A and B are shown apart, each in its own frame.
Chain A
């Protein structure tokens, strides 16, 4: 018969139970950067919705597209796209850093160092961006 383990637990009512302060993410630089990374997702999501909206208008013909494109030339939208670009770069770099944690590839007995995993991701990212730019120039 299995013996039941007897565990002595401290009395919950006699303990002090601390609470996380609401502004916990201001307490450490790394927490702040984490919250910033989470916030970047909101900007990227809004950018993607706007982008899909523009693509939809391309399918409606050149006039429909240029009409909507004109509205995105306002200062507010340009500022939004600037911020969204910075956040997208920050978000992507933080993802590459994550990839270096998750992917620990081995070549023979040699483990590819994390900085190389990040560098390869950045190289692939730059190559993909260059290919998109080429398409844009050619079309």
Chain B
């Protein structure tokens, strides 16, 4: 009996050869427990070693295997072939990003944005190690934990049409991570981050399409972080206007 197969239509782009991306079809064995990433690895190992794509952990942790699967941003290590059978599967690089090669996108713009929001704990003055850790209660941890689950997979950027139109927009993940540190009881750097995220390319670019939160594989809900930051910014401005002495 012949082995069951499934067709993967994969976007190829090699700058030295191609003026624009094109689709290449591959027949791969169908396995009940295979994900799209397994099928790509099969192509790479058995059919065409020139295919380029990113991956690492194969368990939804590293965030490197994000691609468009049948037009939806997905972690390919979590997208099962069985969910797309009997149809064909279209695999494309994440939308809204420049393509370096085949399915590999350029992340450097995102890395710059991420750095600009300073996603680390900022202290006005570090206490000496001899004074021990900065303690935190479970409630204080709870306040930001959801936003700390981000794996930088960039699915949210790919789903965001505003980012597609305005690539300078700091975007969902970077803003959610800024908010995560703003909410951290050990942090004292929110005013520094807010200077960036409330600026022209920050939260006000967002018109709340909401798709970033829909596609997020870690339930970070970046759309909520952005809307909450908008409300906090406005209420902070009003408070600062009515009670100037309350300004930090």
Query: Taking beta carbons and an 8 Å cutoff, which residues of A are in contact with B?
Result: 7, 9-10, 12, 14-18, 20, 24-25, 27-28, 30-31, 34, 38, 98, 101-102, 104
Contacts and interface: CB of A to CB of B under 8 A. Distances in A.
A12 B227 CA distance: 33
Contacts of B71: 27
The 9 closest A-B pairs by CB, nearest first: A15-B98, A14-B15, A16-B99, A20-B164, A102-B227, A34-B209, A101-B224, A10-B100, A17-B98
B187 interface: no
Interface of B: 13, 15, 20-21, 71, 95-100, 106, 108, 111, 161, 164-165, 207-211, 214, 221, 223-224, 227-228, 231
A98 B230 CA distance: 12
B106 A25 contact: no
19 contacts: A9-B108, A10-B100, A10-B108, A15-B98, A16-B99, A18-B95, A18-B96, A18-B97, A18-B98, A20-B96, A20-B161, A24-B164, A24-B165, A34-B209, A98-B208, A98-B227, A101-B210, A101-B224, A102-B228
Contacts, number: 60
Contact of B99 (A18, A24, A25, A30): A18
A7 B107 CA distance: 12
A16 B211 contact: no
B227 A16 contact: no
Which of B100, B165, B209 has the most CB atoms of chain A within a 10 A radius of its CB? B209
Interface centre among A28, A101, A104 (most CB of B within 10 A): A101
A38 B207 contact: yes
A15 B15 contact: yes
A30 B72 CA distance: 12
B223 A101 contact: yes
A31 B227 contact: no
Contacts of B15: 14-16
B27 to A, nearest CB: 26
Could you say which of A7, A18, A25, A38 has the most chain B C-beta atoms within 10 Å of its C-beta? Answer: A18
A31 B106 contact: no
